[in-house]
Every structure is written in C-alpha cells, then in structure tokens.
C-alpha cells in the first residue's frame, strides 16, 4: 500500500520549495527518497522514526542538558527525513564556502597583523575595537601554520530566487559538526537503502581531516586535546562526542598547565606535553593572566605559549572578532583587497548603521528590516521593524541615533521550505523553513568542506530568515554524487588518515587526565557506598520493629548516617540535605557520572537516570519503601556490572575499581567493628542480618547446614578469598590494581595495608564466640583491629588522592594589584 506523503505538505507562498519545482513536479533528486517513503507506507515510516528515536536515546544525544536547573535531559531533535542537495548545487556552495573561509582567515591575519584593512578604511574600526572578542593581547601573534581560521562554519539560507545566501559566519567555536556526524549515523541506520542508491557523499573523511589538522604540529609523544568549559555548556554532549570521534582527551582548563611557554596535561602519570587544543571555550575566557581575569575556566599562560608558537589552538584566540553580522556589508570590499576577487556566495543584505547614509536608509525602510546588535555581548532582542510602532519605534530610533555603530539592519526574506515529519494528529509531512550550516577545515591543500552539514528547521511560526527561533530540530544533509563522481571511488571522502596519525591514535587515545581519574575513583566509591547503604537498609527492614535485632540494626543504620531519631525513616533516607543520606550520596554519584560521561556506556547512563527517577518517586512517598530499595539495588548492581564489562580497562578504570574495593573494605570493617566493639555476644538474628547485609546468606548456607555461628561467619566474610564480598578478596584486588596502576604497588601504603589486613586475619575466630569475659575481650580486640584497618584504608585513599589528584583540587586565584 503506497502513501502520497506530499498531500499534506503545503509550502508557504513566495518561499522556495526544496522538493517541488514551480510547476508542482517533484525535483529529480528527491524522487527516489519519496518513492521509498511511499512504498514503505505509514507503518514502515513509523518504524523508521521509532528507530531514530531509540538511537538518539541510546546514544545519549542531548542538547542543553544542564542549562535547565532541574537538570532534565533534552534529547537532540532530529527529523529523520534528510535535506537532499544535488552535486551541481553543492559545488556552488562548496566553492563559495572555501572562498569565504579563505577571506575571513586573511581578514583575521590582517586585523591582528598590520591592519591594512583599517588604515585603508576598507572596514570600520568601530567593528574591530568595539568588539569584545577583538583581543588586544593577540596583536602580532602568528598562529602555527599561519592558520587563523582552521575551522569555520557558515549558516546559509535559500531565498525565493533559489540562491543560497549567507546568514551568519561562525568563527569563534563553530559548533554542531558533531551533531551532523551523529545525524548521519542515525539516518544511515534508518534509510540505508536510499542512502546507498542515491550515492550520498560520505562525511566521515571530514573528521579525519580535522584530526590530521590537529596532529599537524605533533611532536614525539605530545597530545592534542579538546578543551571544554564543562558539563554546564549547552553543547557538552558534542564536546564529549567530538573528543571520542577524534580519539582525543576531553579536558577542562584546570587539567592543563603552562610551564615555560609549553602546555601540559596533568595526567595520572605526570605532565604530558600538549601541542594542539581544539577549544570549545570562548576565546576571551581562555587565559586569565592576559584576557578576562574573571575567568576560572581558562589556562593561565596559554596566550604566551601560543605567542611562542609552542601550541596550536583551534580556532586561535581572537578569531571570535569575525562573529558579527555587521561584517557582511564590508566583505566584498575586503575580498577585493585581500583576494583580488569578487565574493562567490552573497550575504544577506546588511546595513551597518555606523554610516550616516546607511542609518538614513534603515530609518526609511524599517518595515522591511530586522535590527540586530553588532556585538555578541549586547544581548539585545531582535527588533522587527514592521512590529514596532509609535513610541516603541521612536525609542529604538533614538537609541540608534545615539550609538548608531552598535546597530545593524538586515533584509528579511522567506526561507526555503522542506518537509518534516509531524505527528500532531496522524503521521504526515508538514512544511517548515530550513537553514543550512556548512563546515570547513583548513588543510595544506586549502579549505575542505564537509559534504553535508547540519540543516536546522525553524519552529512552526517562524518563516523569517532572521527570527533565529530554530526550535524545530535538525536534519541530516545529503549531498548526492553526480554521475561522474558516482562511477569513481570518492578518493577525497574516504582518504585514509595519514599513517603517522594512526599510530599516534593507538598510543594516545584517551589519556586519563587527573580530573577524570579522580571522578572515576569517586564514582566507584559512591556507587559502592550507595549499594552498601541500600543493602543495609533493606536487610534491616525485614525485621519486625519489636525484635531485639531491630535495635542493633538501627544502631548500624545510625552509624552509617542513614537513620536519625529525629526524623522518619523515609526522610532520613531521602532528604537530600542530610549529608549522609542515601539520596545525598546518590547525588554525588550522579555528579561524578556526569563528569565522566564520555567514558560511560549508554546503558550505564540510562540506569543512572532510572535510579534518579526511583529516588524522586520514593522521596515523594508514593511507593512502598521495601520495594523501592529492591529496585534501587538492582539498578546499582547493574551499574557496577556495566563498569566491569563496558569500559576500557586502563588506569582510569583501575581507579574506579580501586574506589569501589576500598569503599567495600571500609564498609565491612566499620560494620563489623560497630557490632563487635561493645563486646556483647551476637544474637542469632544479628548474624543472619550481617550475612544479609553482605549478600552472603546463600554462600553461607551452601557451606554450613546449621544456623549461623560467629566464627564461621567471620571465616567467610574475612578470610575467604573466593567470594567477591570478603575482606581477603578486596585486599587481593586492591593490591593487584595498585601494582598495575604504577609503582604504588610496592610502596609503604600497600605494605601497611597488607599488614593491617593480616592482623585481622591472624585473630583466632574461635575465641570470639561465647558469653565469657575472654570471648568478650576477644571481640573487642577484633573490633579494634578492624578499626585500625579502616583507618588504613582511609589513608590509602588519601595517598591516592595526593599522588594522582593533588594538583586538581588547587584552585586558581587572581592576585593582581
């Protein structure tokens, strides 16, 4: 059963229709895609859309994750129907984008160099000196390879006449390329046959170029890294994603240090030279010594390392100055002077109001124009001339008269329309406005353009070129090969990575920074701590409140801070502000997990989110407590399992495991010591409870038929090296991991841990049973030894922190006078 999907697709009058020509005929390059959709029918299409949604959720593709104070993840919005472009059309775009990137690169070199453009008055000095991202300290800098604009992105829109026009230039930290790559991965899964049939150009090669570009200046053993501002950035997913795709470490400012004009990454094994930084942090935040002194995100001394040509930053600091709509009108003049050529891609008509004639024109044609700020730090709302009347219009005019050079006006035109899937009532195609973001990378052979890009769909109401409310999501962009291209293997797109680079990638992928190591270590600890607390609570709950065991169980719960006399059980567990509550520990676990998200499998991440939901529901008091604890335990156990099976077993992983083992060992010591220290003999029920808390009930029963006895229980929990919950087991694995981690294995900390464990194991467990004074004394002595061991574990944890994470915790501070 075929479906005519275009029936509901009605484009706006006067806008260009990407799919149909003026006579209503489907354009040739859209035909096979539409034919496929038609034969798939509603069910087939729905399946594809479901698959896309699942892949987005599974791959954890999100946007704006932490901008929301509630921390709710917003899944990336992808419309699974791609924007299709012909080879001929693409060629025009490609050449135009290459030329524009070349021009902007030359302009940056000029503005930070001899400023010919200014002395010849080709561009207004107001745009340069008034721009917050014109960074004075960068004057005279020569970036490595003279590349001022190694990476460039441009937003294009198609006017009713069918031509593509430039809306925006992105030179600061061009974002979205990672999303474009992910979009392709997903559409390739959803529409594999059409993708093949249409011979859509491959986008992966572009990322190899980016990688090569970053490795150009590599020296033996040096690293390239991706610098992020952290998890609060709206595109943090992309930072992590790009780092993973490029095989580079994702780092924050405090992971880097500049020594003697050289940038280093603080890693678990010491300082490692960094020769290239792909930065996703705005340039003025990058060096608090010379740039914004209020930035805690930057790397002190970075600018001097750049000046000394010891590190390449992509894009170089200072490149943000070209991010302004006001440049548009001056680019043709600059192109003539710097390239001796006319601009191939036109910019949307733009008037910079700093020129009296332009201001006059803008006042006269205000109805057809939109008024924008010249500088990115102005944060003014866009003003649509036709929507402003009377006093509001006069007020704007007055402001424009006072400081005309901070205003720019742009022409408005209807954007071209594409079909998108809409499921308002039933599944159907609706028309939406679209813009196209295209990416380019500087290579030794000139700029290389990503054959595709990120199509962004406008929200339902905005059809206007400038009303940037692109809430509608994104699309993949398919550039189809022409007949000639299709017959030959596309050398450019599949060009292999240089062998040197490959070798390097194998060696240095994911260098474990100290911050990452620290977060993994604590994630291991908190994961285990939560699990211990849940076990403790669950085992205690089984008991009747009148039973004599209940009292001692409660004492243990108090010992670990999950129960207090002054509040209800539920509050004690779920109140976040109680620092020892289960909820508080879970929040710490969640924080660590978000910090290391790039290293976690999507399953782990999903389980964390499930657990968070469980925690919220339970704190609202809607569900039975015992059942909730059961579910939580399941989730936590699953998370432990994922870290065992789904992670690369490097030093970071070892730290995670060490964290978990140390936590488990300490818990066991504290729990047993807590029960033994008063010297009283333990009741039958208490022994059962201890086995339950430590998940050893079944093991014990399989070995001993009779009811539990303390010596046998201790034998199991302490000496048995085959059960993963016991002391001997923790000791063996801790020593093993320490050995692998570094030279720590043979050091005094490891030795004294071994010794302290031995003093516990040396105890004759037979002596601790019974009611006599001797037995009571033996129990107290064992408790004391357990406490010593617990202290030892704490010291080992501190030692690890000192050795591996110490330079992380040191905050930067400004000491100017």
Partner 1 sequence: MTDPAVLRRYRVEHSTRYEYVATVMHGHHLLHLSPRQQQWQRAMQHDIDLHPITGLLRPDTDAFGNPVHRLEMESPHQQLIINASSEVLVSVRPEWQADSTMEWEQVCKRLCYRHQSRTTEELEAISYRAESPHVRVKNAFADFATACFPVGCPILVGAQTLMSKIYRELAYAPGETQVNTSVLSVLESRRGVCQDFAHLMIACLRSLGLSARYVSGYLRTRPPEGEAALVGVDASHAWVSVYAPPYGWVDLDPTNDLRVGLEHITLGWGRDFSDVSPIRGVIVGGGEHQVTVAVTVTELNDRVVDSSTS
The CB-of-391 to partner 1 minimum distance in angstroms stands at 18
User: Which CB atom, from 163 or from 259, has the smaller least distance to partner 1?
Assistant: 259
Q: Is 288 a binder of partner 1 (CB under 8 A)?
A: yes
Longest dimension (CA), the chain: 104
Tokens of 719: 């000496």
Tokens of 794: 């704490």
Tokens of 705: 């038929």
- Sign of torsion over alpha carbons 623, 629, 634, 635: positive
- How many CA atoms are closer than 13 Å to the CA of 538, on its beta-carbon side? 20
Give the DSSP per-residue string, 45-69: HHHHHHHHHHHHHHTT-EESTTTST
User: Which CB atom, from 28 or from 816, has the smaller least distance to partner 1?
Assistant: 816
The CB-of-132 to partner 1 minimum distance in angstroms stands at 8
The CB-of-167 to partner 1 minimum distance in angstroms stands at 24
Q: Which residues pair with 169 in a beta bridge?
A: 154
User: Which CB atom, from 270 or from 816, has the smaller least distance to partner 1?
Assistant: 816
The CB-of-513 to partner 1 minimum distance in angstroms stands at 16
Binding partner 1 (rule: CB under 8 A), the pick from 18, 182, 238, 290 is: 290
Lookup result for tokens 């006579």: 23
The CB-of-377 to partner 1 minimum distance in angstroms stands at 9
Please give the helix or strand (H or E) that residue 409 lies within, else none. strand 407-411
Q: Is 401 a binder of partner 1 (CB under 8 A)?
A: no
Count of residues engaged in binding partner 1, rule: CB under 8 A: 41
User: Which CB atom, from 308 or from 339, has the smaller least distance to partner 1?
Assistant: 308
Binding partner 1 (rule: CB under 8 A), the pick from 44, 75, 125, 766 is: 125
Provide the 8-state DSSP code for 598: G
User: Which CB atom, from 258 or from 665, has the smaller least distance to partner 1?
Assistant: 258
Binding partner 1 (rule: CB under 8 A), the pick from 60, 96, 124, 598 is: 124
Q: Is 289 a binder of partner 1 (CB under 8 A)?
A: yes
User: Which CB atom, from 183 or from 304, has the smaller least distance to partner 1?
Assistant: 304
Of residues 340 through 369, those in contact with partner 1 by CB under 8 A are 354-355
> Pick from 158, 183, 195, 121: which is nearest to 17 by CA?
158
Q: Give the separation between CA 659 and CA 131, rounded to whole angstroms.
A: 48
User: Which CB atom, from 111 or from 778, has the smaller least distance to partner 1?
Assistant: 111
Q: Which stretch binds partner 1 (CB under 8 A): 299-307, 491-499, 642-650, 772-780?
A: 299-307
Lookup result for tokens 């240090």: 257
Q: Is 119 a binder of partner 1 (CB under 8 A)?
A: yes
Give the DSSP per-residue string, 296-348: SSS-TTHHHHHHTT--EEESPTTGGGG--GGGGGGHHHHHHHHTSS--SSPBP
Lookup result for tokens 């003026």: 22
Q: Give the separation between CA 415 and CA 173, rounded to whole angstroms.
A: 25
Cα separations in angstroms, 583 against 270, 503, 591, 632: 35, 45, 12, 11
Binding partner 1 (rule: CB under 8 A), the pick from 11, 233, 257, 417 is: 257
Instruction: Give the per-residue SS3 of 415-471.
Output: CCEEEEEECCCCCEEEEEEEEEEEEEEEECCEEEECCCCEEEECCCCCCECCCCCCC
Q: Which stretch binds partner 1 (CB under 8 A): 293-301, 519-527, 662-670, 779-787?
A: 293-301
User: Which CB atom, from 721 or from 814, has the smaller least distance to partner 1?
Assistant: 814
The CB-of-552 to partner 1 minimum distance in angstroms stands at 44
Residues 680-711: b if buried by 16+ CB within 10 A, e if exposed = eebeebbbbbbbbbbbbbebbeeeeeeebbbe
- CA triple 715-721-725, angle to 5 deg: 80
User: Which CB atom, from 32 or from 309, has the smaller least distance to partner 1?
Assistant: 309
The CB-of-122 to partner 1 minimum distance in angstroms stands at 9
The CB-of-816 to partner 1 minimum distance in angstroms stands at 4
The CB-of-784 to partner 1 minimum distance in angstroms stands at 35
Binding partner 1 (rule: CB under 8 A), the pick from 24, 28, 69, 140 is: 140
Provide the 8-state DSSP code for 202: P
Q: Which stretch binds partner 1 (CB under 8 A): 55-63, 292-300, 383-391, 484-492?
A: 292-300
Q: Which stretch binds partner 1 (CB under 8 A): 296-304, 410-418, 588-596, 761-769?
A: 296-304
Q: Give the separation between CA 316 and CA 353, rounded to whole angstroms.
A: 29
From residue 303 to residue 342, what is the string marking binding to partner 1 with x (rule CB under 8 A)?
Answer: -x--------------------------------------
Q: Give the separation between CA 177 and CA 269, rounded to whole angstroms.
A: 32
> Pick from 339, 302, 371: which is nearest to 138 by CA?
302
Q: Is 130 a binder of partner 1 (CB under 8 A)?
A: yes
Q: Give the separation between CA 556 and CA 562, rounded to whole angstroms.
A: 9
Q: Which stretch binds partner 1 (CB under 8 A): 147-155, 414-422, 426-434, 807-815?
A: 807-815
Of residues 700 through 729, those in contact with partner 1 by CB under 8 A are none
Binding partner 1 (rule: CB under 8 A), the pick from 405, 563, 667, 689 is: 405
Q: Which residues pair with 279 in a beta bridge?
A: 227
> Pick from 189, 170, 246: which is nearest to 476 by CA?
189
User: Which CB atom, from 119 or from 702, has the smaller least distance to partner 1?
Assistant: 119
- CA triple 402-406-412, angle to 5 deg: 110
Q: Which 3 state secondary structure label does DSSP give 375? A: coil
How do strand 312-314 and strand 270-279 relate by DSSP bridges?
Answer: parallel
What is the distance between the terminal CA atoms of the chain, rounded to a whole angstrom? 78
The CB-of-124 to partner 1 minimum distance in angstroms stands at 4
User: Which CB atom, from 39 or from 293, has the smaller least distance to partner 1?
Assistant: 293
Confirm if 795 and 691 have CB atoms less than 8 A apart. no
Tell me phi and psi for residue 621, to 5 degrees: 80, 20
Q: Which stretch binds partner 1 (CB under 8 A): 134-142, 241-249, 425-433, 750-758?
A: 134-142
Binding partner 1 (rule: CB under 8 A), the pick from 57, 77, 95, 118 is: 118
Of residues 258 through 287, those in contact with partner 1 by CB under 8 A are 258-260
Q: Is 115 a binder of partner 1 (CB under 8 A)?
A: yes
User: Which CB atom, from 359 or from 458, has the smaller least distance to partner 1?
Assistant: 359
The CB-of-127 to partner 1 minimum distance in angstroms stands at 9
User: Which CB atom, from 248 or from 268, has the smaller least distance to partner 1?
Assistant: 268
User: Which CB atom, from 109 or from 214, has the smaller least distance to partner 1?
Assistant: 109
Tell me phi and psi for residue 104, to 5 degrees: -65, -35
User: Which CB atom, from 183 or from 319, has the smaller least distance to partner 1?
Assistant: 319
- 161: number of Cβ within 10 Å: 8
The CB-of-298 to partner 1 minimum distance in angstroms stands at 9
Tokens of 168: 């925006």
Q: Which residues pair with 420 in a beta bridge?
A: 430
User: Which CB atom, from 301 or from 453, has the smaller least distance to partner 1?
Assistant: 301
The CB-of-388 to partner 1 minimum distance in angstroms stands at 20
Tokens of 721: 């090296």
Q: Is 380 a binder of partner 1 (CB under 8 A)?
A: no
Binding partner 1 (rule: CB under 8 A), the pick from 96, 178, 205, 301 is: 301
The CB-of-135 to partner 1 minimum distance in angstroms stands at 9
Q: Give the separation between CA 145 and CA 152, rounded to whole angstroms.
A: 16
Binding partner 1 (rule: CB under 8 A), the pick from 2, 129, 703, 777 is: 129
**Continuous H helices in 469-513:** 483-487, 491-494, 499-508
Residues that bind partner 1 (CB under 8 A): 115, 118-121, 124-126, 129-130, 136-140, 257-260, 288-290, 292-293, 300-301, 304, 354-355, 402-403, 405, 807, 810-817
């Amino acid at each position: 059963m075929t479906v005519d999907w275009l029936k509901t697709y009605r484009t706006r009058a006067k806008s260009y229709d990407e799919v149909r020509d003026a006579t209503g005929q489907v354009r040739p390059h859209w035909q096979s895609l539409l034919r496929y959709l038609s034969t798939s029918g509603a069910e087939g299409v729905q399946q594809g859309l479901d698959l896309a949604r699942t892949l987005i959720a599974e791959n954890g593709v999100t946007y704006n994750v932490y901008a929301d104070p509630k921390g709710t993840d917003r899944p990336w919005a992808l419309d699974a129907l791609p924007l299709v472009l012909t080879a001929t059309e693409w060629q025009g775009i490609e050449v135009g984008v290459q030329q524009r990137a070349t021009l902007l690169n030359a302009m940056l070199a000029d503005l930070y160099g001899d400023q010919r453009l200014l002395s010849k008055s080709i561009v207004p000095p107001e745009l340069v000196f008034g721009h917050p991202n014109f960074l004075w300290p960068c004057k005279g800098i020569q970036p490595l390879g003279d590349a001022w604009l190694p990476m460039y992105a441009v937003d294009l829109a198609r006017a009713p006449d069918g031509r593509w026009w430039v809306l925006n230039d992105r030179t600061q930290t061009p974002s979205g390329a990672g999303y474009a790559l992910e979009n392709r991965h997903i559409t390739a899964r959803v529409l594999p046959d059409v993708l093949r049939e249409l011979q859509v150009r491959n986008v992966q090669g572009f990322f190899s170029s980016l990688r090569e570009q970053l490795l150009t200046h590599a020296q033996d053993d040096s690293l390239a890294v991706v610098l992020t501002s952290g998890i609060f950035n709206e595109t943090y997913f992309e930072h992590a994603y790009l780092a993973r795709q490029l095989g580079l470490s994702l780092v924050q400012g405090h992971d880097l240090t500049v020594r003697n004009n050289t940038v280093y990454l603080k890693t678990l094994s010491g300082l490692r030279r960094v020769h290239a930084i792909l930065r996703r942090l705005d340039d003025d935040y990058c060096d608090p010594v010379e740039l914004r002194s209020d930035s805690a995100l930057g790397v002190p001394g970075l600018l001097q390392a750049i000046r000394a040509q010891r590190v390449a930053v992509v894009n170089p600091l200072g490149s943000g100055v070209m991010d302004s709509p006001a440049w548009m009108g001056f680019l043709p003049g600059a192109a003539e002077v710097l390239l001796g050529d006319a601009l191939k891609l036109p910019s949307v008509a733009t008037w910079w109001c700093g020129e009296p004639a332009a201001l006059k024109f803008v006042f006269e044609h205000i109805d057809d124009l939109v008024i924008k700020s010249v500088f990115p730090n102005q944060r003014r709302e866009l003003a649509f001339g036709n929507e402003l009347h009377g006093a509001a219009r006069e007020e704007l005019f007055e402001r424009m008269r006072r400081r005309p050079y901070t205003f720019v006006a742009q022409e408005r035109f209807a954007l071209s329309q594409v079909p998108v899937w809409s499921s308002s009532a039933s599944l159907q195609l609706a028309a939406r406005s679209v813009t196209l973001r295209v990416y380019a990378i500087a290579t030794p052979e000139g700029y290389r353009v990503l054959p595709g890009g990120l199509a962004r769909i406008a929200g339902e109401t905005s059809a206007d070129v400038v009303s940037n409310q692109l809430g509608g999501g994104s699309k993949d962009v398919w550039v189809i090969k022409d007949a000639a291209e299709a017959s030959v293997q596309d050398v450019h797109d599949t060009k292999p990575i240089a062998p040197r680079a490959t070798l390097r990638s194998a060696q240095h992928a994911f260098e474990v920074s100290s911050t990452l190591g620290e977060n993994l270590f604590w994630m291991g600890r908190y994961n285990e701590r939560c699990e211990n607390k849940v076990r403790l609570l669950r085992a205690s709950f089984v008991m009747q409140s009148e039973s004599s065991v209940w009292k001692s169980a409660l004492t243990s719960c108090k010992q670990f801070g999950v129960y207090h006399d002054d509040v209800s059980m539920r509050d004690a567990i779920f109140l976040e502000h109680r620092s020892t509550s289960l909820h508080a520990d879970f929040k710490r676990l969640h924080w660590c997990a978000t910090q290391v998200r790039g290293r976690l499998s999507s399953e782990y991440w999903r389980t964390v989110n499930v657990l968070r939901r469980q925690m919220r529901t339970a704190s609202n008091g809607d569900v039975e407590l015992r059942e909730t604890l059961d579910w939580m335990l399941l989730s936590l156990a699953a998370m432990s399992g994922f870290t065992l099976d789904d992670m690369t077993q490097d030093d970071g992983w070892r730290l995670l495991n060490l964290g978990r083992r140390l936590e488990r060992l300490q818990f066991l010591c504290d729990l047993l010591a807590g029960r033994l220290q008063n010297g009283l003999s333990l009741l039958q029920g208490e022994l059962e409870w201890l086995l339950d808390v430590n998940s050893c009930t079944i093991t014990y029963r399989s070995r001993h038929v009779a009811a539990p006895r303390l010596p046998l229980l201790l034998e199991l929990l302490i000496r048995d090296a085959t059960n993963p919950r016991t002391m001997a087991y923790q000791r063996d694995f801790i020593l093993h991991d320490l050995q692998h981690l570094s030279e720590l294995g043979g050091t005094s900390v490891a030795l004294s841990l071994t010794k302290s464990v031995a003093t516990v194991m040396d105890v004759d467990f037979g002596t601790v049973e019974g009611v006599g004074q001797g037995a009571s004394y033996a129990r107290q002595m064992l408790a004391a030894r357990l406490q010593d061991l617990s202290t030892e574990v704490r010291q080992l944890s501190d030692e690890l922190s000192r050795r591996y994470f110490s330079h992380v915790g040191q905050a930067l501070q400004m000491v100017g006078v």
